Chain A
Amino acid sequence: MSDTPPANATSSPSPMSPEKDESRGTKRRVDEVVAGEASQVNVAPTELSDEFPELLRFYYSRLFPFAPFFEWLSYGDVSGTSVAAATGLGAAGVGEAAAGGRGDGMGLQGSYVSRREFSFTLEDDVYIRYQSFASAAELEAEIRKKRPFKIDIGAVYNAPPKDHKTIPAGAFKPLEKELVFDIDMTDYDEVRTCCSGADICTKCWPFMTIAIRVLDTALREDFGFEHLLWVYSGRRGIHCWVCDPRARALSQNGRSAVAEYLNLIRGSEDSGRKVFVTTPMHPSVERAAAVVEEYFEELVLEEQGMFGCAERWDKILPLISDESARAGIRNALIQQDGDNALGVWEGIKDMYAQNSYRSADLTEIMLQFCYPRLDIHVSKGLNHLLKSPFCVHPKTGRVCVPLDPARVADFSPFDVPTVSQLAAELTEAAKAPAPSADEPSPMDVASQSGRAYSLTSLKPYFGYFENVFLKSLLASIREIKQEAAIREGVIDF
């Protein structure tokens, strides 16, 4: 529609829908600050020590993994077009959103990664959009110079974003982006009792574990995606970057469809029942329900104590559709001996097994309290920016690290190192002597290869990114290229 939100004077199209700020109400967070809004939110951390800028300088000069980071976003392309475009894999996903974006005669200028938008949020609250870099060296130099408090990654356009002002209005268009998911613990406030808002603890983190397990499985099994980069945001949430060519080429409508397919929690804060399942359940929902069931009793009933007092069980009881059953359960809860949440729950399950109550009730309760709560607006937008992996969260000082979905149960956000901790670790590591006089010290070796991180507690996270995620991504890109070459007869056998 023509009713665009007010554009910031220095940056034209805003990446957010006009509804964005309203729909999230007070839940807006620093993570989300984008063009035209930076001035309204205090990005500069107040709780942070004065040393943060200095620590950030250290982090960018010694630890930020520029080379693999850039290699990831290059997706094997150094020439001009993306792999998706080159192999025609993207064509299937071109919907209305991208209409006119491709094939309208305007050629692509520059390599895939050089057409990618980066944006920086600087220390003094300045927000700079439409940065782009032709090489890893350029990116590295700029990041080291500007030392951004936050780096966001946007879409891949048809021309380098830094040149967008030289391109006729309307001709500068986003073409591709990873399909992204954003799950924030703030959205769990109505189902957790241990913390609220930006706080997290070991009692509520399992909600994120569930989210990763459910979404990771659905994205792989249902949609056939393979290259999923899961990232801890550094504070209270997780992001997922789906990097397969087909995911990157998805139209706006395609993104919406996947996001809605995966989104079960609906309705506003005051609508009681937020999950409706069909009978029988859709196979994908059924699979998710099985995962959720593994956690529900321990997480919701024991850790969060949702049957602990009337105020809490009043959130569950309205989901029991039979009135007399509801009254019975309420009675049982009032009369429970001490804290007997599990006993009551067993009783409820028995009741349902013996009577002809609506059997979907119990599944819906479990899903409503445990199923991933997605911020689907982030997933839907082709040009929505998302915080980059490897940033340092300005409020916690923790690094935004990739995590291995296969070992998600072992991940704890409290183990993720902070920059100050890393500084200490590296100082300590520098003391390790060289094995002999004419050999370099371990520090020299690690720094030489650009992997000083391997001497710190970042090693498992960055190591996973380089050795598992990136390796398999690049291998499959090589494969796609080879197949394309064979198809076109470039390679003879």
Chain B
Amino acid sequence: MLGVGSRKTAVVSSKAHARKAAGEGSRAAVLSLYAVPPTEELSLQEFEELALKRVQLLKAIAAAKAVGKSGKELSLAVGKAVDAFLPFRATSRDEAEREDHISHFILRLAYCRTEELRRWFLTHECELLRWRIGRESPAAVEAFLARENLNYPSLTNEELARFEAQLTTISTIMKRKDDRAALAQAAESSLASLKTTGKLAKDAGGVGGGIRLTAGSYFKVPFEQAIELVQRRQVFVNGGWAYVRRKDMVAIVVAEFRSRLSRSLAVASKALPQLSEDERVVPLLTNLSRQYLGPDYSKTKVEGAISLDQIDTLAKRSMPLCMSNLHSHLRSAHHLKHGGRRQYGLFLKDIGLSMEDSLNFWRAEFTQMMTLDKFSKSYAYSIRHNYGKEGRRVESRAFSCVRIITANAPGPADHHGCPFRHFSPEKLAHTLTAKGVGGAGLKEILNLIAGHHYQIACTRYFELTHPDAETVQPIEHPNAFFTQSEAYWRAKQGSSGEEAKPKLRLASWAVC
């Protein structure tokens, strides 16, 4: 049955199982760009097991990135996840490859259906590949490149002589950048800091900081395939070629994989509707794709559960910092940019603001800055779209913390994102103080964000603003923060018998 799907998603290549030949004798881990789909039959049970393993692996990678891990820390986390879910077994290399291969292709089917799923799958598959390449020897990487038909010319001696000055310049820039990154990383833990900075100092002083260039230490890559390096000006570009350092080739290969996989997913998504031959597979795939998104609050919300007149009160007492921040910017500037409209709009939808109320809410603010006509033309559409009343008529779901923290970082005039992740410590401290969080609690939160523990910091913020809350669930979703908070306040009201009916705020919503 997997064979059915595979034919449809096949990427052109006739070199079946070239990996076997090249893998002989090497004890390297699984390394593949998955050019050839599997052809074997497998049981439904194995199908499900393998798929779940890989989903868990990718989820573990996503979680590590969500808490801000990078560099060595991320590498450790990925390694742990691989060991836990798709371990390389020294005794049976073939079996490990088989599992890796099949599970990758099952997830292609599960994650090709929407752009958001594709992006998630792509991002974390790329991270996995990056990790795998990173721990190979140069020889193994070269063998892998050859086997995947990625042949880039290395520099001739003549080119080396011609561009020596430029290449040395880039090397120096990159070395300084790497050193800075290493220092920053080392500063993370004081113990590591002692070791690494000592080593760095030695490096810099010892060999006189000299950089030796050899022709073989560079590859010539068409600039279109080195766009990340080009974009950041981290590569010498001449005559349409990017002169890529050997150690930067990982980025090139990962980018190439990303682009190939992206194309394959697009093809697979078109083939998917015809894949209903085995009806047992479809619900499995659907279920798999749901795995990463966290709970779907659009399914459990009660439309109209909250009304316009409550929003200001709710923003103050029950919304997570990311949302109350958006709310106050909207109230004061009467405008939010795209990212903010989307993050806040979907949140409001899934805590139960009806579409009518939503339209009224945004209109009341935006029309203080623009004509009603402009609002109706430019903004009302996307609000209805959020509710699944426009376009593809699919209701969008509120963003999870992982999504808010990792995707679409806010630009200069943006207010979306996660304050714990995206605010400067000063601004965060200021904001928290305004929310009544100070002293030891504030210090604790700032320490948490210094260690990139954004969600834990948010959870701590919840605890501090909800004293004596019974059991606080770790915050993984803004809507969960909200629900948890509302439950808390309801319980409080119940016990104290206070009437805390929110006051009307007439000034801005009673228009149009």
Contact = CB atoms under 8 A, between A and B. Distances in A.
Interface of A: 1-7, 18-19, 21-22, 36, 40, 92-96, 99-100, 103-104, 221-225, 246, 250-251, 253-254, 256-258, 260-261, 267-268, 271, 278-286
Interface string B100-111: 000000000000
A261 B378 contact: no
Given A92-B224, A257-B231, A22 B337 contact: yes
Contact of A223 (B240, B378, B379, B386): B240
B270 A104 contact: yes
Nearest to B381: A6
Interface in B179-235: 222-225, 227-228, 230-233
B236 to A, nearest CB: 6
B230 A92 contact: no
Given A104-B266, A254-B224, 20 more contacts: A1-B116, A2-B392, A6-B379, A92-B224, A94-B259, A95-B227, A99-B259, A100-B263, A100-B270, A223-B223, A223-B237, A224-B240, A224-B241, A225-B240, A246-B224, A251-B224, A257-B228, A257-B230, A257-B231, A280-B169
A253 B227 contact: yes
A480 to B, nearest CB: 14
Interface in B333-387: 337-338, 342, 374, 377-382, 385-386
A278 B379 CA distance: 41
Contact of B377 (A6, A100, A258, A271): A6
A3 B385 contact: yes
A254 B227 contact: yes
A246 B230 contact: no
Contact of B380 (A6, A99, A285): A6
Nearest to A102: B263
A3 B172 CA distance: 43
Contacts of B240: 223-225, 246
A77 B238 CA distance: 29
Contact of B385 (A4, A99, A267, A285): A4
Contacts of B259: 94-96, 99
A3 B412 contact: no
A221 B238 CA distance: 6
Contacts of B338: 3, 18-19, 22
B391 interface: yes
A5 B378 contact: yes
Contact of A19 (B227, B239, B337): B337
B381 A5 contact: yes
Contacts of A4: 381-382, 385, 391
B228 A6 contact: no
Given A223-B240, A260-B231, A282 B170 contact: yes
A366 to B, nearest CB: 18
B151 interface: no
A2 B231 contact: no
Contacts of A284: 233, 237
Interface of B: 115-116, 165-166, 169-170, 172-173, 176, 222-225, 227-228, 230-233, 236-241, 258-259, 262-263, 265-267, 270, 337-338, 342, 374, 377-382, 385-386, 391-392, 394, 396, 412-413
A282 B238 contact: no
A2 B236 contact: no
A100 B223 contact: no
A6 B391 CA distance: 10
A6 B170 CA distance: 45
Nearest to A256: B231
B96 to A, nearest CB: 30
Nearest to B238: A222
A281 B228 CA distance: 19
Nearest to B259: A95
B116 to A, nearest CB: 8
Contact of B237 (A3, A261, A278): A261
A2 to B, nearest CB: 6
Contacts of A225: 240
Contact of A104 (B267, B374, B412): B267
A257 B227 contact: yes
Contact of A5 (B241, B382, B396): B382
Nearest to B341: A3
A260 B337 CA distance: 22
Nearest to B230: A257
Given A223-B223, A254-B224, A268-B412, A282 B169 contact: yes
A1 B377 CA distance: 19
Contacts of B385: 2-4
A280 B172 contact: yes
24 contacts: A1-B116, A2-B115, A6-B382, A7-B381, A18-B338, A92-B222, A94-B259, A100-B263, A100-B266, A104-B266, A223-B223, A224-B239, A225-B240, A254-B224, A256-B227, A256-B231, A258-B230, A260-B231, A261-B230, A271-B412, A279-B176, A280-B173, A284-B233, A286-B169
B70 to A, nearest CB: 21
A250 B382 contact: no
A19 B259 CA distance: 26
A285 B233 contact: yes
Nearest to A223: B240
A422 to B, nearest CB: 38
A256 B115 CA distance: 20
B166 A18 contact: no
A285 B232 CA distance: 12
A258 B337 CA distance: 26
Contacts of A21: 378
A256 B227 CA distance: 9
A224 B394 CA distance: 45
A278 B337 contact: no
Contacts of A93: 224
Q: Which 9 A-B pairs have the closest CB atoms?
A: A224-B240, A100-B266, A6-B381, A257-B227, A257-B231, A224-B239, A93-B224, A283-B166, A222-B237
Contact of A3 (B374, B380, B382): B382
A256 B236 CA distance: 17
Contact of A6 (B378, B412, B413): B378
Contact of A282 (B116, B173, B266, B394): B173
A253 B230 CA distance: 11
Contacts of A2: 115, 385, 391-392, 394, 396
Nearest to B169: A280
A150 to B, nearest CB: 21
A270 B259 CA distance: 37
Contacts of B232: 260
A253 B223 CA distance: 12
A96 B263 CA distance: 7
A36 B374 CA distance: 11
